[in-house]
A and B are shown apart, each in its own frame.
Chain A
Amino acid sequence: MRVRVEHAFVPVTLLVLIVALSITTDTFLTTRNITNVLTQMAILGIVAFGVTIVMVGGAFDLSIGSQTALHGVVSAVVMVETGSIWLGVGAALLSGLTFGLVNGLIVGGLAINPFIATLGTLVLARGLALTVSDGKVVSGLPAGLAEFGRGDLFGLPWTVVLLIGCFLVASYILHVTPLGLRLFAVGGSAKAARLAGIKVSRVQMAAFMVSGLFAAVAGLALTARVRSGQPLSGELLELYAIAAAVLGGTSLYGGRGAVWRTAVGVALITVIQNGLNLLNVASELQMIVIGTVFIVAALSETLQDRGLRFTRRKVGVVTGPSELVLAPDRGLRDSDPDDRPGTGPERVTPADDCAPGSGAAAHELGQEPVQPRK
């Protein structure tokens, strides 16, 4: 296995950061904080694993953030109506699969550009979430759910168990099954894939269904954690997820990526947020820092990529186009919390499982209460 130099920046930065935070703070390397970091990683991680699968197949899924809200709300409503947690879980998963199928049919079947298609379903899912919940936070969930949200398995919170489970499932799909290999092929060259006898639209459809399913799991984790259905949660989550995947080295053009690499990207984002919280950096400043990190990471990779391409050209090897230009900075530029109602530093975030003052993290975890409609 060849080590790709161009992907060293992010893992190395993560390691340096962990070491630095362990030395400079006495709080970072505590069981409580590590559990906290893992919990914070969960929602973003689960969604990012799903979007990695779609991206390796050469497509985008921008709808996953809204989907998290939709499937979470669906589960909450079903739980409230039926009083059964498991019916709620089933409803969310079904909702995720169905929505993924719709995305897949639009992209694969109707051959509409995935960026445009899922931009449409992003808005659509948000509208559905608000419709299903009647524009309000869905509360009054069965008591058992609270236990699930707070409980643990061998000391690991359930959301972290879900994160690890999703990591394993995504890795299995992408790196073990025929679907995974075909996704790499389709993302690498759809034309060549077609000529190699691969049913391109079917493969993409499957990827969107997996992504929908993962969004449903994320929605469930969120609902369990905040013990309510939040129709406005998960805003901009898709951009953070894509950013995490790209930070990890997933190609924006498809055909390259790995689930573990996305996990590293997610970890980097989360550790930066956590570290800045521990150092009491204000959330406005945090966004500036994270945005800068994205751009530097992208820059370091394109620079190395250019350097490599220069040396490779000498031996006559064709390399692909450089990547990593779009998502990271986009994701951050658009994520100013003060633009939106109901967020911002002055709002009180539930303090039970989230580090204080983490604007971005709290926001994408959907922990801000939704203002009831007038």
Chain B
Amino acid sequence: MSRLGFMWANLFRRPVRTWLTLVSVMIAFLLFVLLRTVSHSFSEGGGFGEPGIDRLMVSPKYSIIDPLPISALQQIAGVDGVLAVTHGDWFGGVYQDRANFFPKYPVKPIPHFEMYSEYLIDPQHLEAFANTRTGAVAPLAMAVKYGWKVGDKIPIEGDIWAKKDGSRNWEFDLVGTYAAPEDQQQPGVFLLNYAYFDEARDFGEGTVGWFTVRIADTERAAEIANAIDALFTNSLNPTRTMTEAEQARQFMQQIGDIELMMTGILAAVFFTILLLTGNTMAQALRERVPELAVLKTIGFSDGAVAALVLGEALLLCAVGALLGTALAIGAAVVIGPGMEEAMGVFEVSGSTAASALGLSALLGLVVGAVPSFTAQRLSIVDALRKQ
């Protein structure tokens, strides 16, 4: 029997109580690791890549579900300093199963790839995309993932958009693939031909979700954005224009709020665990006062007995944390592929696992501190007399 074995045996003096505590600690750490992983995936940019420094985004001022008229494109193009304008929209839709989530944008093929020149597409695929009404292109990684090849028909069930005949069954011809920049973790966007989409949809014809603008001089970004918004200030469709970098910054701000929320949830969970585990340890100590006195009698020093009690708290928290982290890693393996579309790579990082173990040590120290101190100060004679 080692000291570790002795601590382990002591922990299971009341097996049901210990198991219940262990499961609580394990669930707390499962939550901790999963939420940290979600937060980490978002903060890594969610795979959205580096925003273009010479691009502006023109969105509806009040809500992303308000459409903008496509006629605004010409007005924006006429603003001094604007080099090019294109547009996009949110298609939504489900491919086979809701778990297969990936963004789908109706775009104008050639202007889109001119605007986003960091995305590489074979000229023949681009030409096919531009010339095929029902054409669509997918990022290579997405095509590989779903086993698509050029020439396949990709069925999408519209959840926002129905067709003029009332059907929600959209079918697109995969005419090509494109490559995303290497630093982009997110698999990218399934692009479909705007002309077909606009013609076939049952409402909203002639509108878009947003415009993307390339400008000549990044120093004038704010001035040009103001000029664009000024065009539509008193219209039915006021706009809000900002650089892609600013949009990314605002997105990150929202993630910051999510992180704050997660931190709040975890703080509440761990406070509860602290009370629960602390109570377990305190109860265990009360039940063992004579035994601890016997340990001291047979030669365990005050420090050795204190270390034993503290070690039990640390062991309980460490085992709970290890089980919780292992479960979270397993869960990430299972649910990760489904999450990657939304937030890029979803896997438990080494730093998250390490922080879980660090937190378990802290929890063990806090939980074990008082019982350990009490055990250290325990008087042998008094404890034996109370038997």
Q: Are A and B co-members of a single complex?
A: no
